[in-house]
Structure 1
Amino acid sequence: MVSGCLTDFHLYIEGGRPAWQWFRELLGVVPPENQVQKFAVNCTWFQETFGECPDRADEETIRRFARAYIMMLLGTQLFADKSGNRIHIRWLPYVARLEEMGRYSWGSAALAWLYRCMCRVANRHVVKLAGPLQLLQSWIFWRFPTFRPTGYDEISWPLASRWKFLKEREIHKQPLRNTRRALWNNNGKLSKEYCIKMQHNYWKNHCTNLKGGSMMSDDKFEKKYLVNATSKNSHDEPKKSQPILEFIKDGMDTFRQFSRLYAFFSFISSGLSSSLLAVDNLSNISPKMFLIGFLQFLIPNCIMFQYIVGVNQLADIEIDKINKPYLPLASGKYSLRNAIIIVASSLLMGFGSAWVLGSRPMFWCLVISTMLMTAYSVNLPLLRWKRSTILATLSLASSMTIGQHIAPFLHMKTVLKKALNYPRSLVFTVVVVSLFYTVISLAKDIPDIEGDKAAGHKTLAIHLGPRRVFWFCISLLQMTYGIAIIMGALSPILWSKIFTVVTHFIMSIILWYRANSVDLSNNDSLQSFYMAIFVFLSVENFLVLFVR
């Protein structure tokens, strides 16, 4: 019942009466709108409103304060989420009847919630762990004595309560640091020998020989356990080349995070699609010439793409520490100096290679696209357009449309020495991808509300809330597929008509199914859907080739 409330909240709270009406009846007050996010109330409002029960309060007032305290305990301790500062009103059905709260299995529910949170954090894109972490820490200290701080060996109940006294004592941290350093040496792989040695003193003091009641001697301990461990695992020593391989692997993974490859692959598919649109007749074109022309477009634009994502991360370091702490700059994997070198080198190499290749249409499209994205990111007077929803959407959508679609089309026309014309498929592509990029501009702010608020950005997600913006984005995408279906139906070529209508109808169904699977209260789910939009865009880059 309790664990079900965590996931099926609406079934329990909205079946009888409006949620906030029930909130007023049970707690005597309703929080102001600026203190509410969906069905969660800011913890600071709870603390200010119910921080101290007034003297000589009547029984009903005491019950209201008790309900508020229990909700704070459940929302911030036992069933805490990653926000750390909001309390969900899903607990109203339980605090409504205080006398019945002892009938629920709170321990089982808290354990199930912790398992669920630990399962989620195993995803490589998740960097924050929620749940009753103080209980998890207490369990670690209880089950792994080596990690215990000094002064933790005293028995008291409940076990977690022992931690609160440590701040009052003088804690010697150096032995614990030495233990950690030794345990995680050799590139973070546990040394089995050292683990056994570190447990030696613990077992020596706590384990007795059942037969004779005497302590096991050091010689017997080492002979029975330590020698066996070293002999059995001598062949498991890591190769000398392993640290180098790990270093290379970590470096490549860090650069992948810095480069935002999920958008990079969509960029390649966009350039290839628009380059193919410039070819009037495939039978009259040399594959070698087309490949060379596409590579000429790809090289400077890939380099410049690295500049665009890099300068955005340089300008958003403080925001990313809140929204995306796993990124190299926010996490400290890249220093500011190294990031500046990468960004500046990408800018110079991108413009330089585009100029050397001699394609003037591509060069000037690259200049316009780069200027728009620089104005979008950098924090200078009259710039930093991402603080405004309208300017952010216009600059991002215009830059991507010019750089990833118009530029490769014009460049390929120049390479192939063909007369410049604007086919129906190009017009269709520009309209469709502009709507896609508008959605990307709006959807990227939905998981980033917390950091954008701290930075003072006035995004649409902050003004309207994540749910409204999310479904507005879905509506725009469905409208995009609707436009594609109409364009396909108007095509004079039968095969193009059938293919365009059927494929876009299927894509609209897939989009609707995917959108309904998104948990709007979970930033990881929202971020996953945001990345999925680039997959839909890549598929659309393929489909537009068949519009006639």
Structure 2
Amino acid sequence: MGEGGTAAGMGQLAGFGSAALIWTFDLRYDLISALVERWRPVTHIFHLSCGECTNTLEDVALQLGLPIDGNAVTVVSSISRPTRLCYDLLGRSPSEGKFTILRFSWLEANFEYLPITATELEVMQAARAYIMHLIGGVLMPDSHGSEVYLMYLPLLSNLHNTRSYSWGSAVLAMLYRELCRTTDPSTVDIGGCLILLQSWALYRMPFLASISHQSYIFPFVNR
């Protein structure tokens, strides 16, 4: 999304400034596939030839710049009045009925450009859309990668308070969950913050950076 520096600045205020810088990142699916095969769900640890290791909150803070202390990111699974919530926090709604997700195509169509004459309210609304796109597209994407769950939006109602939540913990928890789910051989996709997984592996094990892409393919890489 391209809401402009003002909305991005509000994202910085909310604690997502560093994470917003990683939009473009080439994923090495051969590396991710190999890591998945070496993940042990019981212990949440990678068993590698060089030893055992895993992602930690320190890695999340270092790689993504997200807050790792503070309130837990707790969400409700069902929002009783989604339309009202969207009008209140985004100024518009994708539907007048019941819905649980916001599609990226809708967010981009409605918030891609922020006019120079935008009011403070419109800047706040665009900033929320910007962060929602970032959450669903980079930090906590599902396996579809084209939408974000509406349940995160209430946490953005007061952007000055948003950074008080431990977003880093939520991102790491979802990555763990997706790694555990994907160890099932029948799984054909994976969600979670793969950028974090890859950057962690290359940072902690720099020798991997010099290894060329291999032909090894795990089913979920076929998107």
Q: TM over 0.5: same fold? A: yes
Distance in 2 between residues matched to 1:3 and 1:60, nearest whole Å: 25
- State the shift of 1:32 in Å: 4.3
| Aligned counterpart, 2:100 | 39
Q: Which of 148, 167, 178 is residue 87 of structure 1 equivalent to?
A: 148
Q: Which of 26, 50, 55 is residue 116 of structure 2 equivalent to?
A: 55
| Aligned counterpart, 1:123 | 184
Report the 3-state secondary structure (helix = DSSP H, G, I; strand = E; otherwise coil) of the residue aligned with 1:87. strand
The answer to whether the 8 A contact 2:73-2:165 is kept is no
Distance in 2 between residues matched to 1:55 and 1:77, nearest whole Å: 27
Distance in 1 between residues matched to 2:149 and 2:107, nearest whole Å: 11
The answer to whether the 8 A contact 2:83-2:95 is kept is no
1:9 aligns with 2:82: no
Report the 3-state secondary structure (helix = DSSP H, G, I; strand = E; otherwise coil) of the residue aligned with 1:103. coil
Distance in 1 between residues matched to 2:118 and 2:142, nearest whole Å: 32
- State the shift of 1:22 in Å: 1.2
Provide structure 1 residue ranges, at least 5 long, that are not aligned to the other structure: 150-175, 189-324, 332-548
| Aligned-CA RMSD value | 2.8
C-alpha distance 28-111 of structure 1, shift in aligned 2 (>3 A): same
- State the shift of 1:53 in Å: 0.9
Q: Deviations over 1:125-167 (max 9, x none)?
A: 2121101111111001011112115xxxxxxxxxxxxxxxxxx
| Aligned counterpart, 2:201 | 140
Distance in 2 between residues matched to 1:88 and 1:2, nearest whole Å: 17
The answer to whether the 8 A contact 2:82-2:98 is kept is no
Provide structure 2 residue ranges, at least 5 long, that are not aligned to the other structure: 1-70
What's the TM-score, normalizing by structure 1?
A: 0.26
| Aligned counterpart, 1:27 | 90
The answer to whether the 8 A contact 1:117-1:129 is kept is yes
1:96 aligns with 2:157: yes
Which of these two proteins has the greater Rg computed from alpha carbons? 1
C-alpha distance 38-29 of structure 1, shift in aligned 2 (>3 A): closer
The answer to whether the 8 A contact 1:3-1:112 is kept is no
Q: Residues 51-200 of structure 1: matches in 2 within 5 Å?
A: 51-148=112-209, 176-177=211-212
The answer to whether the 8 A contact 2:102-2:148 is kept is yes
Distance in 2 between residues matched to 1:326 and 1:115, nearest whole Å: 19
| Aligned counterpart, 1:205 | none
C-alpha distance 100-140 of structure 1, shift in aligned 2 (>3 A): same
Report the 3-state secondary structure (helix = DSSP H, G, I; strand = E; otherwise coil) of the residue aligned with 2:86. helix
Q: Residues 292-307 of structure 1: matches in 2 within 5 Å?
A: none
The answer to whether the 8 A contact 1:75-1:87 is kept is yes
Report the 3-state secondary structure (helix = DSSP H, G, I; strand = E; otherwise coil) of the residue aligned with 2:92. coil
Report the residue type matching 1:129 in the other structure. I
Q: Deviations over 1:358-403 (max 9, x none)?
A: xxxxxxxxxxxxxxxxxxxxxxxxxxxxxxxxxxxxxxxxxxxxxx
The answer to whether the 8 A contact 1:80-1:132 is kept is yes
What's the TM-score, normalizing by structure 2?
A: 0.61
C-alpha distance 93-37 of structure 1, shift in aligned 2 (>3 A): closer
Higher relative contact order (CA 8 A, sep 6+): 2
The answer to whether the 8 A contact 2:189-2:219 is kept is no
Distance in 2 between residues matched to 1:41 and 1:104, nearest whole Å: 22
Distance in 2 between residues matched to 1:22 and 1:129, nearest whole Å: 29
Report the residue type matching 2:77 in the other structure. F
Distance in 2 between residues matched to 1:97 and 1:4, nearest whole Å: 15
The answer to whether the 8 A contact 2:73-2:166 is kept is no
Q: Deviations over 1:409-461 (max 9, x none)?
A: xxxxxxxxxxxxxxxxxxxxxxxxxxxxxxxxxxxxxxxxxxxxxxxxxxxxx
- State the shift of 1:326 in Å: 5.2
Identity of aligned residues (%): 32
The answer to whether the 8 A contact 1:3-1:113 is kept is no
Report the 3-state secondary structure (helix = DSSP H, G, I; strand = E; otherwise coil) of the residue aligned with 1:41. strand
| Aligned counterpart, 2:37 | none
- State the shift of 1:37 in Å: 9.0
- State the shift of 1:9 in Å: 2.1
Structure with bigger strand share is: 2
- State the shift of 1:2 in Å: 4.5
Distance in 2 between residues matched to 1:37 and 1:133, nearest whole Å: 30
- State the shift of 1:38 in Å: 3.9
Report the residue type matching 1:76 in the other structure. G
